[in-house]
Amino acid sequence: MRDLTRRLFNPLGSEAIEREVEEELRFHLESLTEQYLQHADTFEEARASALRRFGDVEQVTDECVEISKRKRPFMRALKSFFILIFLAGIFVRIFGTELHVDRFGTMLITVAVMGRLFLYVRGLNPAGFRPKSDPSSSLILNSRAKTPASLFDADNL
Amino acid sequence: MQGTLELLILKTLSHESMHGYGIAQRIHQSVDDLLKIEDGSLYPALYRMEERGWIASEWGVSENNRRAKFYKLTRAGRKHLDAERANWDRISRAVTKVLQTA
């Protein structure tokens, strides 16, 4: 319920973006797991190997969502608009009784709630794939490789 | 190394459009165990590169009939790849020269 409330009233809500990012990362993790399954004894072992190679899923998801949000100012504006409509509806309901415009307030609240619910349902993500793994550097020289790469100091990369 | 991952991604996408997993696989094969790259690190790089207009993405169907997001190089991306490649060659030659003489 708290999650629902947070999502409905978060002006920078990013359900659709999160869903897309998670779907993309899930495809990668599942493909990696399938790849490791060819050599692993169990599914858990393959999945653990996939997660090790992938890195911190949660951090990657958050980074991608943040970057995507910058690209979608319209959705952010639309969500903020619904919140404003909702607040305006409440205002009209409270102070518009004497002017007999409280029905208009109810209408505004309904439109705002329906609009926000529509955006929420559109961005629903029933299955998350965001387990944690050990964070580490994303691109480093492999010191165990038997190549001239050892000429370079990996700490400086 | 600043910009290295982006350069690897741009080069990988220079021949055909690919999904993130495919890009990771191709890079792992190409670097031949010389570099350890966390697959996850590709995605923020891909998203930033798309934001800069170097690559474009669209959802499609993968080789095993699953929905996947494919990336392709844009004209701006190809120009950036050429510039970065020239830059990399210059730096690489300079560093090699210093290492050989020092």
What pLDDT sits at residue B5?
Answer: 92
The backbone torsions φ and ψ at residue B58, rounded to the nearest 5 degrees and listed phi first, read: -155, 150
What pLDDT sits at residue A126?
Answer: 33
User: And the tokens for A21?
Assistant: 């990012």
CA–CA distance, A142 with A150 (Å, rounded to integer)? 8
Question: Of A85-89, A133-137, B90-94, where does mean pLDDT reach its minimum?
Answer: A133-137
Residues of A whose CB is below 8 A from B37:
138-139
Under an 8 A CB cutoff, do A145 and B1 touch? no
CA–CA distance, A60 with A92 (Å, rounded to integer)? 43
The alpha-carbon radius of gyration of chain A (Å, integer) is 24
Closest residue, chain B, to A68 (C-alpha)? B47
Tell me how close the Cα of A123 comes to any Cα of chain B, in angstroms.
16
One-letter amino acid at B50 equals E
ipTM value, please give it: 0.90
Q: Which residue has the higher pLDDT, A17 or B73?
A: B73
- Average pLDDT (A5-18) is 61
A-B contacts at Cβ under 8 angstroms: 89
CA–CA distance, A145 with A51 (Å, rounded to integer)? 22
Tell me how close the Cα of A108 comes to any Cα of chain B, in angstroms.
36
Whole-model pTM: value is 0.65
What pLDDT sits at residue A155?
Answer: 39
Under an 8 A CB cutoff, do B21 and A64 touch? no
**Angle (nearest 5°) at CA A71 between A123 and A110:** 40
Contact A107, A85 (CB under 8 A): no
**Angle (nearest 5°) at CA B85 between B80 and B91:** 125
For chain B, percent of residues with pLDDT exceeding 70: 97
